[in-house]
Amino acid sequence: MSSSFLESALAPIDKAAGLLGLKADVVAALKRPERAIEATLRVRMDDGRIALFPAWRVQWNGALGPYKGGIRYSPDANLDEVSALAALMTWKNSLMALPLGGGKGAVKVDPKALSKGELERLSRAWAGAFFDVIGPEKDVPAPDMNTNAEIMAWMSDEYSKLAGKEMLGTFTGKPVEKGGSKGREVSTSYGGFVVLKRYLEGKSRSLKGLSVAIQGFGNVGGNIARFLDEAGCKVVAISDSRGGIYKKEGLDIPKRLEDATGVETISNKELLELPVDVLVPAALESVIHDGNAKNIKAKVILELANGPVTAEAEQVLVEHGIDVIPDIMANGGGVMGSYFEMLQNASGHYWSEEEVLNKLELQMTEAWEGLEEVRKRFGITYREAAFVRAIERVAKAVESKLP
């Protein structure tokens, strides 16, 4: 990703500023990171040599609270990309009505080229390099692309060693047995499920009997398929990277892709263009673009993946009366699950999965109601309303703290 990605992450600020009448000094503050830290990680490799890896942590805005956002390992990582992602986390955390700012971290590395020992040493090196700028009340990282619960456990352990005491709340997305939260694995999917319910309630409709197609049947896609199936939806198509299956009468979701009895085989392209009530892109970015937008027949699109609908495609969809529930709202349950892990680490009291999901439903509902209020106030799209709502909260906090 290039500076154009950063520009797109900041573009909603000007639209929001115009609608909200934001002051120039507040707008300027929103467009710059509060801190961008770069480090070089020195890691002993299995063959004895020392390898150097560029690493970053960008803390975009902390007006609402401690910075929060993931750490990714990618051979393509760069400062512009990390900055853009940190800005987007600022808006997402604000939209979710969380007392958190936005941040993001990365290491420029191909994790597939490392042994497990090298990966652990790299992860511990990251925690050491950024020790002074992270912590439960400063900045709380989480997993992202090519990082996972095990990596968070290594980082958490390293941070605690350096601090001289256990500091579980410095990282989220940890294994449950090491201070992680129950329900964290399904929080993104469940949040999307709740948002879809609230959207339909606003249209005086229910989930029961609706036809759904889901592109991407990994953790997020698989779990929302289960939630929708249990709520009475008819999941007619699912897919993974190899392709998908379709059954007009509805698939037997518990059996998933393993049982292809009485189904049609379809491509991912065909799945996106099915005549369904709800389309859930839960895999890759930019799968709905100006080349296929005119062929989309769903009544509403729930963006569980990041950026599955391009800006050009969304213009076409809106013109055709197709609502798009944007990723910043639809997949916000993930960061909400992380926030709940922070609360549990701070209190030492841990919740059941049922408690986590009940709290998640309440918080996602509050976030959705905030978005809807802004959408109706200004007569704008769901995506525009999401960003205006998010930026409005951050701007008020920034203004209250300016001297």
Contacts 24+ apart (CB under 8 A), 228-236: 228/193, 228/196, 229/253, 229/254, 231/193, 231/197, 231/207, 232/206, 232/207, 232/208, 233/207, 233/208, 233/209, 233/278, 234/209, 234/210, 236/211, 236/212, 236/274, 236/276
Residue 199: closest CA among 384, 50, 338, 372: 372
Q: Which helix (H) or strand (E) holds 313?
A: helix 311-319
Residue 237: closest CA among 223, 227, 249, 220: 249
295 appears as a binding residue in the annotation: no
Instruction: Locate 148 and state its tokens.
Output: 């996972």
Q: Which residues pair with 244 in a beta bridge?
A: 239, 266
219 appears as a binding residue in the annotation: yes
Active site residue 104: yes
Q: Compute the CA torsion angle 382, 383, 387, 389 (nearest 10 deg).
A: 10
365 appears as a binding residue in the annotation: no
In sequence order, what E strands does 241-348 have?
243-246, 264-266, 278-281, 300-302, 323-325
Q: Which residues pair with 39 in a beta bridge?
A: 55
Spatial neighbors of 130 by CB under 8 A, at least 6 apart, are 37, 39, 55, 57, 105
Terminal C-alpha separation, the chain: 36
Q: Are 96 and 62 in contact (CB under 8 A)?
A: no
68 appears as a binding residue in the annotation: yes
Sheet bearing 323-325, strands edge to edge:
264-266, 243-246, 234-240, 211-215, 278-281, 300-302, 323-325
Q: Which residues pair with 342 in a beta bridge?
A: none
Question: What's the maximum distance between 2 C-alpha atoms anywhere in the chain?
Answer: 67
Determine which one of 23, 104, 182, 255 is catalytic. Answer: 104
- Give binding residues for NAD(+) as ranges: 188, 219
Residues labelled catalytic: 104
- Give binding residues for substrate as ranges: 68, 92, 338
- Give binding residues as ranges: 68, 92, 188, 219, 338
